[in-house]
Amino acid sequence: MSKSQIDGDSSLSKRRRERATKSNRRSGILLGSFVALAVAGAAWYWTQVAEPARGKEAYEEETSRLFVEMKSKSNRLSENSSGEALNAFEIEIRELAERDGVKPERVDPLIENVEALKKTKSERRQEFEAMREAIKAFPLDSSPEKIKAFDAQISGSVSRLERSQGAKLRSDWLERRKAVASELKTQSVGELMIRSDPSKADVYLDGKLLSKTPFKVSGVRTGRREVVLKKMGYRDRSILVSIEDSGGNDLGTVVLDPIVGGVRIIVSGGKSRDKIEIEIEEADESVSVGGLEVVQGYQHFEGREHQLDALRIGNYVLIVSVNGKIANESSFVVSEGETRQVLVEI
């Protein structure tokens, strides 16, 4: 092989090696670019898709955990929970309500529950303070009946209040009750007598029903007392009396003022020459006079039409007679300040 041939082959190989080197360099550049793009794409996916999704999932899991925790706390709360505990829980609930994705219908019942408990505690506090003031103002000269009534009132309040409030209330009342009982032992008693016109009026002494008039009782505590007379169809009569321990305390006969209304009675039918008689009497009352039962409010009229403007209020019986025989018997009611019209057909 000649030298020129050898040199030609060498030059050809050199050019081939150069082309191969360039080709390898371009392939490396392309591979590097591809890898860079892949890494960038993965980084973008991680930061923009995968990581936010994981963060959102964790956020939702934390929200669910907080909700379960708050619901459990809410179930443990009661009317006896402290005000501090209720306030702290309310703050936590409202913070939970502000988280993304929390529906109001899930947290509203929890908020309503704590608000209802706070309202109950406030009402209890108000009742507690009011009862303490009532204990301080309870009169030392109160009757045993009033003491017993207040005992019941205290028991009712204690059953509604918190344990500490109830204990304090009982303690306050016990001290006041001792003072009232001590004052009660030193009090004298007297006698009370009272009559009324009309009779059979209910007699109340310091708000307690005792009997009907005429009435006499001994053993009444001395001092300022209130006597009230009540009777259907009459206005209540209140009398303040000072009971003394020397002799009787006779209030005499107390006249009761009637409460009145009116009635217009019209009889129709029958013949013009018929003799019409009308009788009315109170249906609710009768009294004993000389051993005989006498009907109250009895009135008798002749004629077809009569109007009465001053009847005591209450129920009345109406009897209409024609030529001496009862033709109709009915009833009507008289109301205060009204004139009722009663039509009778014979």
Residues 191-198, mean pLDDT to the nearest whole number:
86
Given this chain, do its domains 189-255 and 260-345 carry the same CATH topology?
A: yes
Per-residue exposure over 2-41, b if at least 16 CB sit within 10 Å of its own CB, e if not: eeeeeeeeeeeeeeeeeeeeeeeeeeeeeeeeeeeeeeee
Q: Read off the amino acid at residue 181.
A: A
pLDDT tens sequence across 260-302? 899 999 999 989 899 999 999 887 655 443 444 444 678 899 9
Q: Among residues of the chain, what percentage have pLDDT more than 90?
A: 31
What per-residue confidence (pLDDT) applies to 246? Answer: 58
Is 102 in contact with 63 (CB distance < 8 Å)?
A: yes
Q: Which residues, 6+ apart, have CB-to-CB distance to 135 below 8 Å?
A: 154, 169, 172, 173, 176
Over the chain, what is the mean pLDDT? 80
Helix 104-137 to helix 163-185 angle, to the nearest 10 degrees? 20
Domain ranges of the chain: 1-56, 77-187, 189-255, 260-345
What does residue 158 show for φ and ψ, rounded to 5 degrees? -60, -40
State whether CATH 2.60.40.10 applies to domain 189-255.
yes
What per-residue confidence (pLDDT) applies to 287? Answer: 47
Ramachandran area for residue 51 (φ above 0: left; ψ -120 to 50: alpha; else beta): alpha
Q: Which CATH homologous superfamily contains domain 260-345?
A: Carboxypeptidase-like, regulatory domain (2.60.40.1120)
What per-residue confidence (pLDDT) applies to 292? Answer: 44
Q: What share of the chain is helix, strand, coil (3-state, %, to 5)?
A: 45, 30, 20
pLDDT tens sequence across 230-239? 998 889 999 8
Least confident stretch, 29-38, 87-96, 123-132: 29-38
Q: Which among 263, 264, 265, 260 is positioned nearest to 310, based on CA atoms?
A: 260
